Every structure is written in C-alpha cells, then in structure tokens.
Amino acid sequence: MWFDVLGVPKTLPISPEGSEMETAFQDGKEEVIQAWYMDDSEEDQRLPHHREPKEFVSLGKLAELGIVSWRLNPDDYENDEDLKKIREARGYSYTDICDVCPEKLPNYEAKLKSFFEEHLHTDEEIRYCLEGSGYFDVRDKNECWIRIAVKKGGMIVLPAGIYHRFTLDTNNYIKAMRLFVGEPVWTPYNRPHDHLPARIDD
C-alpha cells in the first residue's frame, strides 16, 4: 500500500464516520471563513463585491448547500492529527499543494481567468488554505452568487455538482492544499452542464 507525505494510505475507502466529521474542528471558524451575497458589479473580480447594504450568509446556510468546512492548524499541517482524522474519515487519500500568485503560477492571468469561469465538478472540490486567502463563489438555490472568503487555516469542501468559481482577493496570493478521494480529477465542466448526474442529484 502506498502512503503520501502525511502518512495516510493512498487507497482509503470512504468511511461511514465521514459525515460525523462535518461538525468537528469548528472553534474559531468564523475568523477564517466568511460568506456574503455578491453585487452585480463588473469591477475587478478580486474586490469583495458586497451588496449595499451588506448581506452576510451564515455558515449554517452554507451547510444547507452541502458546503462543509473546518478550521485547522496550517502551521503544522504535516503533523496535524485533526487533518489526518478528517482525511481518514472522508477518504481524502491524495493531496498536493499549489501556490497561486503571479510569481509562482505560470500563465498566471490566464489561469486566474479560467478559475473564474463558472463550472462544476463531478467530484467534491476540497481546498485547505495554508497561507494567504481567496474567494470561492457558489450559486445558491435561487441562482444568486454567494462569495466565500477563506483565509489561512480554513478548509472547505464544495459538493459535486455545485456551480462555482475561484479567484484571489487583492492580496494576490494563496497557498492551498488540494485533496481528493483516490487519484486526482481536474476536469471542470463549464456551465451549462445540468445533464450530468452530479448536477441532477444535487
């Protein structure tokens, strides 16, 4: 059996305890994950894009959309027992780390533009912010955009089939761990792809 850099087997089955893990490691989560409804402005995508007046969205509302999140210790992620527990319970058997910033990402502007295209995946999208910050935008049930700001220490799971997009904020930097069940699948399906099973089951 193969093991990755964090010592977790690479062929883990999804555990029945995975859903119970959704309520673990919540202390201080509001400090690293916040959400609000977006305005319709065409200004720089890296701006907050609050409505006027501001309309914040609770983490409970995000959970109703199937979005799972935690607060962990990014300064010791290689030895973090809480991260290992989440991965074992939910079957996140593969990880890698990426830096998204002008200095480290080839074709930075083109890549950031592609990340911001509205799309879905047929599997969960799991991201853990180790440094920096960024925005994950998702559609609610009424097709309104919700912007989710994730800072260092925030880990977020977007369910399969949810339309979403990603952008950096004005700090122009995030270092994120990407997690997958099994071998990584990178395929984005740009909207519209409502016929996919992941979307139909959503």
Binding-site residues for Ni(2+), in ranges, read 119, 121, 125, 164
CA distance 5 to 7: 6
Can you say which residues are annotated as belonging to the binding site?
Answer: 119, 121, 125, 164
Binding-site annotation, residues for Fe(2+): 119, 121, 125, 164
Tokens of 118: 């509205």
| Contact status, residue 147 vs residue 196, Cβ threshold 8 Å | no
CA separation for the pair 38, 138 (Å, rounded): 10
8 Å CB contact between 92 and 180: yes
Between the CA of residue 198 and those of 14, 83, 126, 163, 175, what are the distances in Å?
18, 26, 16, 11, 28
Query: What 3-state DSSP class applies to 16?
Result: helix
C-alpha distances in Å from residue 137, one per residue of 68, 124, 169: 14, 15, 12
